[in-house]
Structure 1
């Protein structure tokens, strides 16, 4: 069994590696200090199981797990946590494997023996329930491309553009397609993006202005984007109010 260990504390990673080394037919093939590193390592070393800390800088374990679930062959996930009893109940309800810190050998062995992959619905539900104050929000958008699972920082996204069943994500390095809906993206990132059309959300931080186009139509200018995006008539007034408050 190939194991990837992800924890932002080196001492915690070292402890888990020592425990795994003592388990027959299990080996640590990679380690990571945060969720983003775990995704990169998982794509290169193809682990069977990821031992995932939850509270980590840059990208936490819940977000990393959601992205990992989109891989062609996602690894099984075991969360390592110091959460209290109330939060742990959420893990149990959704049948999510977890280990309480400090992890002991017997619990780790049992968890590895029954480790399983988790779907995105499970992960979304558990994520909402263990949030301490406000709902979690991703820091990255993930897309399956010919390069594998590609991570796009949300603060680099210029706009989301819907076209039939996919959404195009335009960001500083290019474009990728995702299978999420604008409604879902607007609900999650509504304070960072504004709807300008039934098929488009644009990033507030990249808006340079709105201008009149031909035949009375309006367009929006975005920093770093050559093309102009159409603003539907029903969204002109709302966008104008937003721009006044920027």
Structure 2
């Protein structure tokens, strides 16, 4: 049996907390358990000093410090204590005016009251997926890797009308296709605007350019192998004619292969050698 995700409810209205608790209890998948409730940011802060949770269902408008200020304090807390795990934040409020600010604070989702069970379940499912990817990335990433991504970095994109923030630690690769770039995590693919060169400049040594159309997270490179060019759609006809064979890398979690240009083979070998030391 899988362990239930731990949820902390923070809302100044007792009836609102009661309804959210009943909604959480009614959701069978993913399994979640409300481990505590708080009526103010101060109460939540006190509870978090001695306890941990996976998900924070957080109201925005509360007496004293509001939900946005509380979330900001949690972000600062993680900056001050890098090894401290920060819960995923799902804002729950009657007003949609604070949505942009909420996502600037790396909120996973933003739900408006009255919250429908289906909408809450979708948010909790995303939280479970994000936590699983975070755990998998930490397990796969070498402990002494000097270029490990800073957990405060993220990629912001729009997906079906929603503004999403994907932690860079969860990105396996970026791949340029036509006018767009595909961002790949262990379980999802997203399309974003922009150029691969801009992403390479922003994230620097955390990613390795394996081909003119692909950047791969260094920790996500699992294997380098020789292949024929016809095995990969990334190689166009001119490249196939230029070389008799080519190389590709296998990506962790998704077991996909990406083409490697001849000039990048040495860099990929070096990256793999660095992972083994």
Give the TM-score taking structure 1 as reference length: 0.49
Using structure 2 for the length normalisation, give the TM-score: 0.45
